[in-house]
Amino acid sequence: MIELPIIPEIALDTPNQRNKKPDWLRVKLPIGEDYKRVRNLVDEYKLHTICQSGNCPNMGECWGAGTATFMILGNVCTRSCSFCAVKTGKPNEYDTDEPRRVAEAIKLMQVKHAVITSVNRDELKDRGAAIWHETVRLVKETTPETTIETLIPDVKANWDALEVMISPGQEVVSHNMETVEALYRKVRPQAKYQRSLEQIQRTKDYGKRTKSGIMVGLGETKEQVFKIMDDLVAHGCDVLTIGQYLQPTKMHIEVAEFIHPDLFAEYKEVGMSKGFAFVESGPLVRSSYHAERHL
């Protein structure tokens, strides 16, 4: 494992926005013994994390606190969203032993609240639901005191698969809308705005605490952000996260605007007034950031 240099902090750079980052987009490098311990466990158990695959800016903070968001069903996605750093392509056959390894790693890490997500597996008839179900079941069996949030992909209206995914006992089920309706074709070309809203509604109807997340800085207007808030509340969403979009590579969609922290604070205030139980809003917020608060 390559050791990272010990530097106090870095500014997050994107290829076409270099030297334009505001001061509030600065994070500490992932260093420290707790970070190394978590990374070693992830490597030892041959696990994937969205922290690494998604270039998450909070990896140092979260891993340093002994937590991580596990990504199951491989690290190659069948979707080609223009914002996402996860590899796109034809995935390999999934690993049926992965649920056991995830459960064992969560036990060794002594995780109190685990977040589990996955790539899209559109080529699978059940969208990977069987692996989802077994992973959550084994985590609950191995460490029954651990609470779980599952950040699940779009099941393309396979509602039987959705029920299998959300039925094994997790406390929170999240599905990210990612952006406002007007930008869906540009940002999520293989997704449908109304279908994702219906997935959240069906999850709520099943009796789960529901959650979603959006990125800002993609060219959306305040009015469009307020509209997606209304749509989410109307479809049973309990928790909303709002964070700044950051371009992962030059091949991805460019940042249109860096949103000021004052506007993030306004979005939080407006969201709470519209009826969300909790709104996490800030430049470096990601869907699993401070997830333990969202129970």
Q: Answer yes or no: are the C-beta atoms of 247 and 255 closer than 8 Å.
A: yes
Which is more confidently placed, 16 or 117?
117
- The pTM for the full model equals 0.83
Torsion 79-82-84-89 (CA) sign: positive
The answer to which of 106-110, 149-153, 157-161, 173-177 has the lowest mean pLDDT is 106-110
pLDDT, mean over the chain: 85
Instruction: State the pLDDT confidence band at 177, using cuts at 50, 70 and 90.
Output: very high
Q: Which fold has domain 10-290?
A: TIM Barrel (3.20.20)
| 200-225 pLDDT, tens digit each | 999 999 999 999 999 999 999 999 99
Give 52-86 pLDDT, tens digit per residue: 555 566 665 665 555 667 889 988 999 988 888 78
Helices (H), the chain: 33-44, 50-53, 59-64, 98-109, 129-142, 159-166, 184-187, 193-205, 222-234, 261-274
The dihedral of CA 157, 159, 164, 169: what is its sign? positive
**Which of 25-29, 65-69, 257-261, 265-269 has the lowest average pLDDT?**
65-69
- Each residue of 82-102: pLDDT tens digit? 888 788 898 888 889 999 999
Distances (CA, A) of 231 to 145, 194, 225, 253: 34, 9, 10, 25
What are the residue ranges spanned by the domains of the chain?
10-290
